[in-house]
């Protein structure tokens, strides 16, 4: 295997829960086009997307990734036809029914992030059960962004802070980046190192806007239902070749400047 293709090693840094620290986020895009290319209804594209999610979770864990955050339903997806929204709402239920027990056995901590408003009581119960059942798992973190929007999440966090100020629990001067990050749906999780978007589109589409500050972005020309280990390996290879500086300059430049 070429150096750039090497997955993160087993002795890579660990997060506070003991899982490997590398965090990859994916915009699972292209289900509709995949279905259209085959003359199938969009619903079958979404179902094939769930199979791609299963393959990708296994591949991510095998390749030494510690956390995977996937975009399953955006706050903007409510504007799709009612039948498609109903199909999308049914996916996590089906996924948890068929896969949660196995994920739990494999040590996966499952978290669903996003607004609760608008989700059915049945789905909320499944989400709460999945959280409660897997909360102490440390082998791998699977975060499913569902009814999630980066802007909505920032607005919700700002509102919570404003309410705390109005109630006298906090002062405006308390606010800094760390405190604000703690008010977001992703609170407690490391920010993504790498955000991947398949399907050829090159935008974030309201995914993890705050958290993406220093993420590397990789865009891939594959529709999500076709996604699997080889595509994740290719994204990691591209990530490994990047030079992450977090606004600083590289060591060689420091030496040259001195
Ligand atoms: C965007 O593709 C994808 C979605 C809106 C849904 C993604 C959801 C899954 C892949 C399954 C999620 C599984 C769980 C368990 C939540 P699109 O439909 O916009 O595709 P298009 O751009 O080709 O039309």
What's the pLDDT score for residue 30? Answer: 98
Q: Per-residue confidence at 4, pLDDT binned at 50, 70, 90?
A: very low
Cα 59 to middle of ligand 1, angstroms: 19
Separation of CA 183 and ligand 1 centre (Å): 27
Domain 18-257 CATH superfamily: Decaprenyl diphosphate synthase-like (3.40.1180.10)
**pLDDT category, 82, cuts 50, 70, 90?**
very high
**pLDDT tens digit sequence for 195-250:** 999 999 999 999 999 999 999 999 999 999 999 999 999 999 999 999 888 888 66
Placement of tokens 């399907």 in the chain: 199
What's the mean pLDDT when you consider all of the chain? 92
Closest CA to 208 of 152, 158, 150, 154: 150
For the cut 50, the answer to whether the pLDDT of residue 10 exceeds it is no
Is a pLDDT exceeding 50 seen at residue 5? Answer: no
Cβ(133) – ligand 1 distance below 6 Å: no
Best probe residue, ligand 1, of 35, 46, 56, 119 (max atoms within 8 Å of C-beta): 46
DSSP annotation of 9 reads: P
d(CA 52, CA 111): 19
Q: Does the pLDDT of residue 61 top 90, yes or no?
A: yes
pLDDT of residue 244: 83
Please give the pLDDT value at position 155: 98
Asked if residue 114 has its Cβ within 6 Å of ligand 1, the reply is no
Confidence grade of residue 257 (pLDDT, cut at 50, 70, 90): low
Q: Is 95 in the pocket of ligand 1 (CB under 6 A)?
A: yes
Neighbours of 23 (CB within 10 A): 24
Q: Which residues pair with 71 in a beta bridge?
A: 27, 145
Pocket test of ligand 1: the residue of 25, 27, 28 to mutate, having most ligand atoms within 8 Å of its CB, is 28
pLDDT band for position 6 (cuts 50, 70, 90): very low
* pLDDT per residue as tens digits for the range 162-197: 999 999 999 999 999 999 999 999 999 999 999 999
Delimit the domains of the chain by residue range: 18-257
Instruction: Output the pLDDT for position 13.
Output: 54
Percent of the chain with pLDDT over 70: 88
Looking at per-residue confidence, does 19 or 22 come out higher?
A: 22
pTM for the full model? 0.90
Cα separation, 239 vs 198, in Å, equals 15
């Amino acid at each position: 295997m070429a150096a750039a293709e090497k997955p993160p090693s087993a002795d890579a840094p660990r997060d506070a829960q003991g899982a490997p620290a590398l965090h990859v986020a994916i915009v699972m895009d292209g289900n509709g086009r995949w279905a259209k290319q085959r003359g199938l209804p969009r619903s079958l594209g979404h179902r094939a997307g769930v199979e791609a999610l299963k393959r990708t979770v296994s591949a991510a864990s095998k390749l030494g990734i510690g956390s995977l955050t996937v975009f399953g339903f955006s706050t903007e997806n409510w504007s799709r036809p009612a039948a498609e929204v109903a199909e999308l709402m049914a996916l996590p239920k089906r996924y948890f029914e068929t896969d949660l027990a196995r994920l739990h056995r494999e040590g996966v901590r499952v978290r669903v992030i996003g607004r609760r408003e608008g989700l059915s009581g049945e789905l909320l119960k499944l989400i709460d059960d999945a959280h409660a059942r897997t909360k102490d798992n440390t082998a791998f973190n699977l975060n499913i962004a569902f009814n999630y929007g980066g802007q909505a999440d920032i607005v919700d966090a700002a509102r919570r802070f404003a309410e705390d100020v109005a109630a006298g629990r906090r002062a405006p001067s308390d606010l800094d980046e760390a405190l604000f990050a703690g008010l977001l749906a992703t609170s407690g999780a490391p920010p993504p190192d790498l955000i991947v978007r398949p399907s050829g589109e090159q935008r974030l589409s309201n995914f993890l806007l705050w958290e993406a500050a220093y993420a590397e972005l990789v865009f891939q020309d594959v529709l999500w239902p076709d996604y699997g280990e080889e595509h994740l390996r290719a994204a990691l290879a591209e990530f490994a070749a990047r030079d992450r500086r977090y606004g600083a300059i590289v060591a060689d430049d420091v030496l040259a400047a001195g």
